[in-house]
Amino acid sequence: MNSLLQPDPVLLGFLFFKKFVYLEVLALLALIRVIVGRGLARWPALMTLVLCLGGIATVFAPALGLNEGPLYVTAAQMMAGGGGMAPLLVPSAIFLICSITPRARWRIIDVLHLLMLAGLLLVWWWVS
């Protein structure tokens, strides 16, 4: 009977990673790309950074007491879209544009992003 009431540890890890880790790490990768990138690679990274910061602000707004008003309500509804995966996949898809730009520097950022995205999609598939 105990196992019925206890969720799978993989599910708990996925929910924690999805809520508190993915956007923060993606924002850090986008910030690095904005700082060290060249040419066209900076613009998708900047868009990704803005989207990630908006998502992070929405997640932590209730802890700061900023969870009132139409802006927060709209942002929270967007963050819940697609079971909470859409706000993760949209900035990730925009950041993937950096991977195909010819003059982007530090390709290790793209490798880390692809590994993180593949891990997210794999665990999402596993738990669903």
Which residues, 6+ apart, have CB-to-CB distance to 41 below 8 Å?
33, 98, 101, 103, 104, 105
Residue at 67 is within a domain? yes
- Indicate the helix (H) or strand (E) that contains 108: helix 108-127
Residue at 12 is within a domain? no
Cα 126 to its chain centre, rounded Å, is 19
Residue at 4 is within a domain? no
pLDDT, mean of each 10-residue run, the chain (128 residues): 76 92 97 92 96 95 89 92 92 95 90 97 92
Taking CA 8 as the corner, what is the angle to CA 62 and CA 60, rounded to the nearest 5 degrees?
Answer: 10
According to the model, what pLDDT value does residue 2 have? 64
| Domain ranges, residue 105 | 19-127
Residue at 8 is within a domain? no
Residue at 121 is within a domain? yes
Total count of domains within the chain:
1
Residue at 61 is within a domain? yes
Residue at 108 is within a domain? yes
In angstroms, rounded to a whole number, what is the distance separating the alpha carbons of residues 98 and 110? Answer: 8
Tokens matching residue 124: 């999402």
Residue at 37 is within a domain? yes
